[in-house]
Structure 1
Amino acid sequence: MKTRITELLGVEYPIIQGGMAWVAEHHLAAAVSEAGGLGLIGGANAPGEVVREEIRKAKELTKKPLGVNVMLLSPHADDVAKVIVEEGIRVVTTGAGNPEKYFEMWKAAGIKVIPVVASVALAKRMERYGADAIVAEGNESGGHIGEQTTMTLVPQVADAVSIPVIAAGGIGDGRGIAAAFMLGAEGVQVGTRFVVSKESIVHDNYKQRIIKAKDIDSSVTGRSHGHPVRSLRNQMTREYAKLEQEGKSFEELEYLTLGTLRKAVQEGDVINGTVMAGQIAGLIDKEQTCKEMIEEMMEQASKLLGR
């Protein structure tokens, strides 16, 4: 399936893997790229040298295109931005902020810059600054979210910009891909489904929590302080919601969640850890290889789109 996104990224399928903190490391990124999508290494809060090591390990596993997601709130974002150039990465996605100060350096190095946005205004601004494409992410996604749904955000962004749009949030099968294309997208970003892939290093407890999730199992915390995060309900989200209702400060709430994502991903604590996952978790019911996932999604999407 050829679109402006497959041409831009040099990939077989218009599928990008989300740059999920603690999840999107070299094994997963390389497996997605090998399967014909674009694998991303998630910079998260990692120092530049850690990201450099992940890039090099991924390149040992695949010669196909790879990308890096830069989390702009990270104290190491400046270093990671430079490492990407030094290591010859060709595609960057950005999240949690405005990447304008890096555009000149990245564009000079021939890097394709694809910001993740949650509003039409930011999408238009990113196009003006020279973004090559936009990821329009609806609030169905896991992790940090905006207010618009994928269904409403994607067509509005597609109408507002001339560069290609990648839809994200609530996409986990071929039906989601076909729907995204009908809304004006030319590619999709998939996160939660890849968390349960066989190549994902996530603890099995975390994977099983997603596989067993029902449609109503996700919850959003942090809205009262303007930092909403979607994850699966557990003891931690209940405690957070209780403290939020009591009017606790942002700092107190942040302290409660400190290190809890790593605790869930690496140690398998799905009771007191943060199990970030999108609303699509209720649709995901099995562990597969990235290749199996991508081929299954693309076959279904192609049939629905008549391609």
Structure 2
Amino acid sequence: MEEAKRDEEESKQQQIWSWGAGTEGQLGTGKLEDEYLPQLLHLPFLSSAGSISTLACGGAHAIALTSVGKVFTWGRGTTGQLGHGEMLNSLHPKPVSSLQSYVITHVSAGWSHSGFVSDTGLLFTCGDGSFGQLGLGDYRSQSTPVKVDYFANNFVNQIACGMRHSLVLLKGNQVYGFGSGKRGQLGISRDKIKSVNLPQVTCGLEDVQIVSISANGDHSAAISADGHLYTWGRGFSGAADANLPQLSLSSLRCTKAALGWNHGLLLTGDDEVLMLGGNYHGGLCDLEKMSAVKHRSDSSRATLNEVIGLDGVKVVKIAAGAEHSALVTGKWMEQ
């Protein structure tokens, strides 16, 4: 009872802001306009649906997951990625009504598709299916979330949606991939795979205890229980593609990973933020300070750069967009 009261009070105090590209309604402001400053969203559903626990941003759509397991989506919906039963854009957050009878615990937004995991381990997908990224055994798009029957006898923990592919992590630590595989991002074969429309086991991780997965663009990544980072798919900074998971920097211990189109962010157990990949748009740091960046590499295919300017700051969350980065800090650490 006390927990419910706290959650209700938190939802009343919570505010959600958005900014950036908005010409397809992805800001949730009710306007088809870009915004250069953060805009406060009007979200009347918060009072009854709990506070927002997760926000996921896709190519031009967004997903909000509340603390009581309800899902709201908005933005571009032309391939069904909003799950509203129609292939139309939505300028305001709307509930995904077909999921109302489930408690959703995990969501992911890809370029034009979406994934939802329930507290009972069920997986639902919707949106663009032209590369098989919905895992439904065909190449059709879906405007309403459809249960992925392939995992009917398994418990799904997480889904990660990339540009045209998806990864799934099961309760037993096994990783699956489906969708486009032309850059090796599925990790299911040593050979190039154009696409698959049913989940297949990602090779090389069967004996590794994986705790989290990430996908964006044509990249895939996983972190093990002991903090090891595995990457596969399109190579960063001109490196060769990897058709199977590769252990990156065996000496590194990671707690979180976030992937963009051309770069990735890593949060280490020492609260350092490292970047994998290029700095084409300043995603790494101030270009004038590049000489101060510390480079790390070993015999693996990865080279990491330490993001400077964060000394004394405790970073608690990281996020990577197509060509930009963001992070959330906690309290300042003692010097």
TM above 0.5: no
Richer in helix (by share): 1
TM-score, length basis structure 2: 0.26
TM-score, length basis structure 1: 0.27
CA radius of gyration, larger in: 2
> RCO (CA 8 Å, sep 6+): is it higher in 1 or 2?
1
Richer in strand (by share): 2
